[in-house]
C-alpha cells in the first residue's frame, strides 16, 4: 500500500496543484509506473493544467494585440496633431507670402467673382481686398482685352493649361497697369471650384522692352541710312562710269575719225612726217579707248554683286578661243588644251574676262621671232580647281611677280608690247570677287605659267 | 543699190539720224557716203526735235522736205529729251511706232541697253572709236535693215 502511495507521491500532487493555483500553468505531476486508481485523477489534473495553459496563452496574446493597437492609435493621434501644426504653419507661411508679396494673388469663383485677394491689390487698383471680394473680374479690364481674359478664365475653369498672359489692369480712376497673369484652376474634391492666380506688375519690364525696341529701331535706321549712303555713292560711281564711257569716247571718235580723214582725203598734201603723226593720233585714240574699256571693267568688277553659279571651264575656254580666232591665226599661236576642263563655281562673264586676259597676255608677251605656244590644263585639289595657262614667252623676273597684278603697272614700253596695264589687275580683282586666288611661276626668258584657283562643284577630291 | 519696186515710196527713202555731236554727225555722214547708201539722211540734234520731226509740226510740217523716215538712228545721251524719252514717246504713237529704231550710242551700260529694248528699240549698236569700224557697222546696217529686213508700211502722215 505504502509503495503504491509512494509511487504517486502525494506531496508532488499537492505541490503541482498549488503551483497551478499560483499561476504556473506549466506545472505537471510526474508520472512513474502504473497509474491505478489515481491515474485518472493525476491525468485529469494534468489535462486541466494544459487546458488552462493554452487559454492563458491566448488571452495574453489578445492583450498584447490590444496594447499594440492602442499604441498605434496613440501614435496616429500624435501624427495628426503634428500635421495640424504643419498645416497651420504652412497656412501661416502662405498668408505671409500672399500678404507681403508685391504680386497680386487672388482666387475667383466659377462665376468670376473674387473670393480672395492679397493686399498688393491696393497698390495696383487703389482698392482694398475687401472691396474687391465679391466683384467680378470683368470690371478691371479694358474693352479690347476683355475677350482675351474671359477666354483665359473659361479655359482655366475647364482645367486647360495656360501660358502667362500680358494684359492691362484698369483702376477706378482709369489708370492702366500692364500685368502678367498666370491662372490655374482651384480643385476641391475632384471638382474645379474656381480659378486662382498671380498677377505681376510688369510696368518696369514693359518700359525696358520699349527702350530696347527704341534702340533697335534706332540701330535699324542707322543701318538703313548707311546703306542708303552707300547706295548713293554706288550710284554716283555708276553715273561717273557712265559719263566716262560716253563722254570720253566722243572726242576719241573725233580724233580717230578726223585723223583718218586727213590720211584719206589729204594724203597728197601730207609728207611722210604728217602721215606718221596722223597715224600716231589714231593709235593713241585706240589705246585710250582700250584704257577706258579696261578701267570700266575694273570698276564694275569692284562694285558688281554676283552670285556664283556652275560654269563649265571647258566651254568658257572654247568660247574665248573662238573669239580670239583672228589673232590666233594672225600670230600663228598654237593652243593646246591638255586635260578635260571641269565645271567650277564662278561667274561666267568674269571668268571669260579673266581667262581671255591671261590667254591674250600669253600670246602677246613673246620674243619677236618666237611663235606663241600656249598650254592649258587643270588640276583638282581639296575642293578647288586650279587652271594653268602656260606660255613660251619672255617670262617675268620673280621680283615683279607681285607688282604686275597692281593697276597701271607695266613692265615694258608701249612700243614694245601693247597693253593698258589694267589686264592683270582685272584678273586679280575678278578672281578675288569669286573667292579664288591667282598666281604664277615664271622667270625671265623661261616662259610664264599663270594659274587661277576657283571653287570646284565637287566637294573634296583629287585627281 | 535699192530695189525700186513700186511698193517703195519716196518717204521710205529717208533715214532720220538723231545725234547732237557735230563730229559724230560729220563722221556718220561720211560713212553713209562711203557705204554708198542711197537713202537721204535727215538730221535732228535733240530728242524734242526728233519728236517734232516725226509728228510733222513746227519747221517740219512739210513732208516733201522732211519725209517720214524708213528707219531712225537714235543716240541716247541727247539734250532736252533723251533717247530713252524718244523711245517711250515713239512706242505710244500709232503708225509712227512701226518705224524701226536703231539705237546708236557710246554707252555699253547694261542698264541703258535693257531700258532701250524695254522701250521698244529694234536694235542697239555701239559707236566704235575707229572710223573703219564705223564704216563696217554702217555697211552692215544698210545690208540688214535696208535690204534684208522687211520694213512695215508707214501710214501716219505726220500728225496723228
Test the B interface: residue of A246, A289, A294, A301 with most B CBs within 10 Å: A246
CB B139 within 8 A of CB B94: no
Q: How far apart are CA A67 and CA A44, in angstroms?
A: 35
In eight-state DSSP terms, residue B128 is P
Place B12 in a pLDDT band, splitting at 50, 70 and 90.
low
* pLDDT digits (tens), chain A, 463 positions: 444 445 556 777 777 878 877 777 788 777 665 555 667 777 777 787 787 778 778 777 877 777 787 777 777 777 777 778 887 887 787 778 778 888 888 999 999 999 998 888 888 888 888 888 999 998 899 999 999 999 999 888 888 888 888 999 988 888 889 999 988 888 888 888 889 888 888 888 888 888 889 988 998 898 999 988 888 888 888 777 777 777 888 889 999 999 999 999 998 999 999 999 999 999 889 888 888 888 888 888 877 777 888 999 999 999 999 989 988 999 899 999 988 899 999 999 899 999 999 999 999 999 988 899 999 999 998 889 999 999 999 988 888 888 888 877 777 776 677 777 888 989 999 999 898 999 999 888 889 999 999 999 876 554 4
pLDDT confidence bin for B8, thresholds 50/70/90? very low
ipTM value for the complex: 0.73
A434 CB contacts (<8 Å, ≥6 apart)?
A308, A345, A346, A347, A350, A351, A454, A455
Cβ-based contacts of B45 with chain A (< 8 Å): none
Residue entry with cell 495640424: A84
CB contact under 8 A, A286 and B27: no
Give the pLDDT confidence score for residue A89 in this predicted structure: 82
Amino acid B3: pLDDT: 44
Burial class (CB in 10 A: 0-12, 13-18, 19+), A191: exposed
For the stretch A418-450, pLDDT in tens is 777 888 989 999 999 898 999 999 888 889 999
Chain B residues whose beta carbon lies within 8 Å of the beta carbon of residue A252: 129
Average pLDDT over residues B30-44: 90
State the pLDDT at residue A37: 60
Task: Provide the H-helix boundaries in A342-381.
Answer: 348-364
Candidate from B21, B112, B130 with C-beta closest to A250: B21
Residue A326 has a CB neighbour count (10 Å cut-off) of 8
Taking the CA of residue B86 and the nearest CA in chain A, the distance in Å comes to: 19
Where helices occur in A304-347 by DSSP H, the ranges are 313-323, 325-331
Task: Quickly count helices (H) and strands (E) in chain B.
Answer: 5, 5
Cis amide linkage into residue A75, ω under 30° from 0: no
Cell readout for A45 is 489534473
Give B107 or A333, the one with higher predicted confidence. Answer: A333
H or E element, residue A151: helix A146-157
Q: Residue A192 and residue A107: Cα distance in Å, rounded?
A: 12
Convert B86-102 to b/e letters by CB count within 10 Å (16 or more is b). Answer: bbebbeeeebbbebbbb
Cβ-based contacts of A257 with chain B (< 8 Å)? 23, 26-27, 30, 131, 134
- Show the cell assigned to A147: 475677350
> Could A282 and B130 be called an inter-chain contact, meaning their C-beta atoms sit closer than 8 Å?
yes
Cα–Cα distance measured from residue A168 to residue A164, given in angstroms and rounded to the nearest whole number? 13
Query: What pLDDT does residue A7 have?
Result: 54
**pLDDT above 90 (res B102):** yes
- A-B Cβ pairs (cutoff 8 Å, strict): 57
Quote the pLDDT of residue A72: 79
Helices A348-364/A423-433 angle, 10° precision: 150
What would the pLDDT profile of A239-259 be if each residue is shown by its tens digit?
777 777 778 888 899 999 999
C-alpha A237/C-alpha A296 separation (Å) is 11
Distance between CA atoms of A449 and A442, rounded to whole angstroms? 6
Amino acid at each position: 500500500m505504502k509503495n503504491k502511495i509512494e509511487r504517486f507521491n502525494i506531496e508532488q500532487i499537492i505541490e503541482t496543484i498549488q503551483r497551478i493555483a499560483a499561476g504556473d500553468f506549466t506545472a505537471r505531476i510526474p508520472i512513474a509506473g502504473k497509474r491505478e486508481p489515481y491515474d485518472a485523477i493525476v491525468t485529469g489534473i494534468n489535462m486541466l493544467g494544459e487546458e488552462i495553459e493554452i487559454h492563458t496563452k491566448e488571452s495574453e496574446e489578445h492583450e498584447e494585440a490590444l496594447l499594440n493597437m492602442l499604441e498605434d492609435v496613440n501614435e496616429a493621434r500624435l501624427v495628426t496633431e503634428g500635421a495640424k501644426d504643419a498645416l497651420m504653419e504652412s497656412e501661416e507661411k502662405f498668408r505671409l507670402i500672399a500678404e507681403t508679396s508685391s504680386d497680386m494673388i487672388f482666387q475667383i469663383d466659377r462665376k468670376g467673382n473674387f473670393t480672395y485677394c492679397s493686399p498688393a491689390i491696393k497698390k495696383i487698383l487703389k482698392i482694398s481686398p475687401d472691396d474687391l471680394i465679391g466683384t467680378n473680374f470683368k470690371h478691371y479690364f479694358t474693352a479690347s482685352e476683355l475677350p482675351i481674359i474671359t477666354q483665359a478664365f473659361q479655359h482655366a475653369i475647364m482645367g486647360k493649361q495656360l501660358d502667362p498672359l500680358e494684359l492691362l489692369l484698369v483702376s477706378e480712376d482709369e489708370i492702366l497697369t500692364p500685368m502678367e497673369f498666370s491662372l490655374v484652376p482651384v480643385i476641391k474634391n475632384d471638382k474645379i471650384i474656381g480659378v486662382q492666380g498671380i498677377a505681376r506688375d510688369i510696368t518696369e519690364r514693359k518700359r525696358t522692352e520699349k527702350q530696347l525696341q527704341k534702340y533697335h529701331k534706332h540701330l535699324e535706321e542707322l543701318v538703313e541710312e548707311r546703306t542708303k549712303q552707300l547706295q548713293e555713292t554706288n550710284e554716283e560711281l555708276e553715273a561717273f562710269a557712265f559719263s566716262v564711257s560716253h563722254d570720253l569716247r566722243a572726242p576719241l571718235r573725233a580724233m580717230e575719225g578726223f585723223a583718218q580723214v586727213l590720211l584719206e582725203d589729204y594724203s597728197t598734201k601730207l609728207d611722210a612726217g604728217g602721215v606718221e603723226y596722223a597715224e600716231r593720233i589714231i593709235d593713241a585714240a585706240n589705246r585710250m579707248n582700250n584704257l577706258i574699256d579696261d578701267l570700266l571693267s575694273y570698276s564694275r568688277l569692284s562694285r558688281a554683286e554676283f552670285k556664283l553659279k556652275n560654269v563649265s571651264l571647258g566651254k568658257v575656254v572654247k568660247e574665248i578661243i573662238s573669239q580670239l580666232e583672228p589673232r590666233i591665226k594672225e600670230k600663228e599661236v598654237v593652243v593646246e588644251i591638255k586635260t578635260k576642263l571641269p565645271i567650277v563655281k564662278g561667274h561666267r562673264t568674269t571668268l571669260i574676262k579673266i581667262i581671255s586676259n591671261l590667254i591674250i597676255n600669253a600670246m602677246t608677251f613673246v620674243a619677236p621671232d618666237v611663235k606663241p605656244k600656249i598650254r592649258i590644263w587643270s588640276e583638282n585639289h581639296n575642293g578647288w580647281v586650279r587652271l594653268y595657262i602656260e606660255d613660251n614667252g619672255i617670262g617675268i623676273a620673280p621680283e615683279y611677280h607681285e607688282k604686275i597684278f597692281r593697276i597701271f603697272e607695266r613692265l615694258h614700253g608701249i612700243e614694245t608690247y601693247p597693253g593698258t596695264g589694267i589686264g592683270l589687275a582685272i584678273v586679280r580683282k575678278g578672281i578675288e570677287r569669286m573667292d579664288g586666288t591667282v598666281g604664277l611661276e615664271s622667270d625671265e626668258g623661261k616662259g610664264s605659267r599663270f594659274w587661277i584657283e576657283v571653287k570646284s562643284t565637287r566637294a573634296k577630291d583629287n585627281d | 543699190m535699192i530695189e525700186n519696186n513700186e511698193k517703195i515710196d519716196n518717204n521710205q527713202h529717208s533715214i532720220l539720224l538723231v545725234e547732237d555731236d557735230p563730229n559724230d554727225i560729220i563722221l556718220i555722214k561720211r560713212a553713209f557716203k562711203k557705204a554708198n547708201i542711197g537713202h537721204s539722211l535727215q538730221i535732228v540734234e535733240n530728242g524734242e526735235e526728233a519728236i517734232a520731226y516725226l509728228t510733222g509740226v513746227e519747221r517740219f510740217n512739210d513732208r516733201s522736205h522732211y519725209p517720214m523716215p524708213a528707219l531712225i538712228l537714235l543716240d541716247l545721251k541727247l539734250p532736252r529729251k533723251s533717247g530713252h524719252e524718244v523711245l517711250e514717246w515713239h512706242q505710244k504713237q500709232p503708225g509712227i511706232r512701226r518705224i524701226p529704231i536703231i539705237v546708236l550710242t557710246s554707252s555699253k551700260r547694261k542698264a541703258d541697253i535693257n531700258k532701250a529694248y524695254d522701250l521698244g528699240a529694234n536694235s542697239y549698236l555701239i559707236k566704235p572709236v575707229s572710223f573703219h569700224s564705223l564704216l563696217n557697222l554702217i555697211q552692215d546696217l544698210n545690208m540688214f535693215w535696208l535690204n534684208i529686213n522687211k520694213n512695215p508700211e508707214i501710214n501716219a502722215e505726220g500728225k496723228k
